Amino acid sequence: MKTLEAFVCGAVIAGMSMSALATVLHVPSEYPSIQAGIDVAIEGDTVLVANGTYTGPPNRNLDFGGVNMVVMSENGPEVTIIDCEQSGRGFYFHSGEDASSVVQGFTITKGFAGDTGGGGIACCLWSDPTIEGNTISGNWASWGGGIYCDRSSPTIEGNAITENEVYNWYDEGRGGGISLYMGSPTIKGNTITENTASGEYGGSGGGIYCGSSSPTIEGNTISGNTAVWRDGGGIRCYQSSPTMVNCILWDNSPDEIEGTPVVTYSDIQGGWPGEGNIDAYPRFVKESWGDYRLRWGSPCIDTGHPDSLDPDGTRCDMGAHLFDQSKTLVTYATPEAHTLVQGQTYQVLYTLVNCHGDPQPARGIVRLTLPNGQTWPWNPLEGPGYGVMPPEFNWQYVREYDVPAITPLGTWGFTWKVGMPGELFDRDSFRFRVVEP
């Protein structure tokens, strides 16, 4: 008995010691590349990646090698880019990693997986990482342009999976955004848009392809995806049993769903059988500019599953984006593009919403941040302006700006704040990159 007690006590102490020894490894200040940081990490470590664009072999085909760790950016996907240069994928999980292996806060782009799967990320051989808060865009493969899962069940949450493509030279291309085979992944809170599936015999599952799998698909916005010559523009289910709830499937081509998933409390264009499902335009802020957030008055607000609550305490919304009714006013700033060219112009759409029953006075101001992190000397860009928002009202306005030829190159910050003296009602911000002509 004493021997058993000593063993248990020793195991607890060892576990505490391992936790206490967890280290944050900094890239590139301590390690020159992302893979270099990964290679020295032990169980529970964090590889923290600074702002920048990471290229070259040490920054693609990134492999945890079976060690569970967190690889994350310091400041999010807008300023931390893994550019695979069409010479490989971003991350490759194939050693049984579990949910404590995390990829968070990167833009993964220009991935190329050739005649295999996962242009952005591949999860194979019972690997179940967490893929969270990334932008996975502009990648190419034969299956799963953005993410490919083969006999794996990762958690895919809060990502923007957009403008990825599959093309299979020998068969149909499957899963422009995500392709699944024999697993039970959780796909939650993602925006899956403008992905394409095609191939020698067409494409299936422009947004998601499910083959012999049983994923949980919850609270996603799946829109503008295309399956060329085949079916399942939004999602294709083959010998699969997905469960879908609180989702929006809209404007996918040629159809929204192919197969027999169980769908409830979702907005499906053209309709779909299931409890709580609706068929009504979601009232996106501006989908043509990639903004799939909801405007006030959307039929998707407060119509998700009645047993689920949003953080504002109201019944959950359908789709990936919460409309926060706890705010006095809600603001959205939507850029026409995130890459601007010196000497040209660009547009920003301002959306201001009063979802309450009384008029609300407010002031607004827009400020810029330079690529070096300092404030723009000529701030504010706009304002302070004053107005009174009528009750239950959506206001939208497009403003055009010049980008002078002498504008400093690099990544800028744009912030719009709305409130009254001493009180901030809401703010929205984005980053944009200025490049040479």
Specify burial of residue 407 (Cβ count, 10 A radius: 0-12, 13-18, 19+). middle
Helix (H) or strand (E) holding 384: strand 382-389
Distance of CA 236 to the CA centre of its chain: 21
pLDDT at site 16: 38
3-state secondary structure of 16: helix
Tokens of 346: 């660009």
pLDDT at site 200: 87
Tokens of 429: 């911000």
pTM attached to this predicted model: 0.93
Specify burial of residue 172 (Cβ count, 10 A radius: 0-12, 13-18, 19+). buried
3-state secondary structure of 220: coil
pLDDT at site 65: 98
Regions of the chain where pLDDT drops below 50: 1-19
pLDDT at site 202: 86
Domains of the chain, CATH where assigned = 20-294 (2.160.20.10), 330-435 (2.60.40.3880)
Half-sphere CA count of 372, side-chain side, radius 13 A = 6
| Non-local CB neighbours of 193 within 8 Å, separated by 6+ positions | 160, 161, 162, 163, 207, 221, 222, 223, 224, 225, 287, 290, 292
Tokens of 22: 């967890």
Half-sphere CA count of 11, side-chain side, radius 13 A = 6
The neighbour count for residue 202, using CB atoms within 10 Å, is: 16
pLDDT at site 7: 30
Q: What is the DSSP string of 339-352?
A: EEETTSEEEEEEEE
In sequence order, what E strands does 165-265 have?
165-168, 173-174, 178-181, 186-188, 191-193, 196-199, 203-204, 208-211, 216-218, 221-223, 226-227, 235-238, 243-245, 248-250, 257-258, 262-264
Q: Distance (Å, rounded) from C-alpha 305 to C-alpha 276? A: 8
- Picking from 222, 141, 127, the residue whose alpha carbon sits closest to that of residue 176 is 141
Q: Cβ distance 211 to 259 under 8 Å?
A: no
Helix (H) or strand (E) holding 14: helix 2-20
pLDDT at site 169: 86
Q: Distance (Å, rounded) from C-alpha 362 to C-alpha 356? A: 14
- CB crowding 99-112: b at 16 or more within 10 Å, else e: eebbbbbbbbbbbb
Q: Distance (Å, rounded) from C-alpha 121 to C-alpha 159? A: 12
